[in-house]
């Protein structure tokens, strides 16, 4: 059923991973401001309260992003219900906890199936619809860890580096069709992302026990932002005529990443003579 409303002052959203964390916060905030939202989650019961609260302004869909056929059907159903999709927000994802040596290939593949291939399924399902309607905005929820890394969650960091590269290329490819792309890079926030539902643990090795204990102890003392303070930033992005390719959420990412890039540049410059010598003679 196509949702009918002659007033087009509102925006329509498709949000994955809306059962908790940023996905739930932003879906609720968008609905409160009068937008229409297709909220999706692996378990329909986890988002049933949206329907009770917002009635026809929300469409609740069960969605496992690792199932491409289900993704395509959900995106098309949301588009048909609302008549268009203005914002496609990829939020579904989780972190794999384990050192590079500890995690096995199956653990890593499973995480990539959600964090990368699930995201790709949503993007590829949405693009024909966005092109046909003359535009739209794809929001990819990355992390400050898409720019720098931490130990123990290195594979999660790697998924976000891949996520960033994909969206940066995508932005150039779809710009001619009037489609915008923004990568959202949150810092540490007090969401459910650190819960058992959002983390999977690789089998541990005794040699890393002390190292990981110290790592988690440091994490416990890190300052975390308030998720409820973030919707205004997201709305500024989606309401902007010229949104940026990237946006940090929180005040800690920029100083951290500024220092990391300064160190990288210093290293590259120190080794520039070696790099240049490897060029050889032009042919």
Tens digits of per-residue pLDDT, 253-263? 999 999 999 99
Residue 282 has pLDDT above 50, yes or no: yes
Q: What is the mean pLDDT of residues 195-222?
A: 84
The reported pLDDT for the residue numbered 7 is: 53
Look at residue 3 and tell me whether its pLDDT is greater than 60.
no
Answer for the pair 102, 205: CB distance below 8 angstroms, yes or no.
yes
Catalytic residue of the set 95, 112, 143, 160: 160
The answer to whether residue 156 is catalytic is yes
Catalytic residue among 95, 121, 142, 143: 142
Closest CA to 98 of 141, 151, 48: 151
* Partners of 119 in beta bridges: none
For position 198, what pLDDT does the model report?
A: 61
CB 89 within 8 A of CB 101: no
Percent of the chain with pLDDT over 70: 95
Residue 116 has pLDDT above 60, yes or no: yes
Q: Hey, what domains does the chain have and what are their CATH numbers?
A: 12-277 (3.40.50.720)
Provide the CA 84 distance to its chain's centre, in angstroms.
22
- Is residue 142 among the annotated active site residues? yes
Q: Which pLDDT score is estimated for 9?
A: 83
Mean pLDDT of 150-162: 97
Mean local confidence (pLDDT), 188-216: 81
Selecting among 54, 81, 112, 156, the annotated active-site residue is 156
Q: Is the pLDDT of residue 130 over 60?
A: yes
What is the pLDDT, as a whole number, of residue 1?
45
Catalytic (active site) residue 189: no
Helix axes 68-82, 119-133, angle to 10 degrees: 30
CA neighbours within 13 Å on the CB side: how many for 172?
A: 5
Kindly state the DSSP code that residue 114 receives in the 8-state scheme: I
Q: How far apart are CA 155 and CA 260, in angstroms?
A: 19
């Amino acid at each position: 059923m196509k949702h009918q409303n002659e007033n087009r002052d509102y925006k329509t959203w498709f949000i994955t991973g809306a059962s908790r964390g940023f996905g739930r916060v932003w879906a609720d905030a968008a609905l409160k401001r009068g937008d229409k939202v297709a909220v999706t989650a692996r378990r329909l019961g986890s988002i049933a309260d949206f329907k009770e609260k917002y009635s026809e302004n929300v469409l609740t869909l069960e969605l496992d992003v690792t199932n491409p056929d289900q993704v395509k059907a959900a995106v098309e159903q949301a588009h048909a219900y609302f008549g268009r999709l203005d914002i496609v927000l990829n939020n579904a994802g989780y972190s794999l906890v384990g050192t590079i040596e500890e995690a096995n290939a199956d653990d890593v593949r499973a995480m990539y199936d959600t964090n990368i291939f699930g995201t790709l399924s949503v993007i590829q399902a949405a693009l024909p619809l966005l092109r046909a309607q003359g535009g739209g905005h794809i929001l990819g929820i990355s992390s400050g860890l898409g720019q720098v890394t931490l130990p123990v969650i290195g594979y999660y960091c790697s998924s976000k580096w891949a996520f960033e590269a994909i969206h940066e290329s995508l932005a150039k490819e779809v710009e001619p069709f009037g489609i915008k792309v923004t990568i959202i890079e949150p810092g540490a926030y007090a969401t459910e992302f650190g819960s058992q539902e959002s983390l999977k643990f690789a089998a541990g090795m005794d040699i890393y026990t002390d190292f990981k204990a110290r790592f988690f102890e440091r994490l416990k003392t890190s300052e975390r932002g308030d998720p409820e303070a973030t919707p205004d930033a997201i709305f500024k992005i989606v309401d902007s005529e010229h949104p940026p390719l990237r946006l940090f959420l929180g005040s800690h990412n920029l100083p951290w990443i500024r220092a990391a890039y300064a160190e990288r540049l210093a290293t590259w410059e120190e080794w520039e003579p070696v790099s240049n010598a490897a060029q050889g003679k032009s042919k």
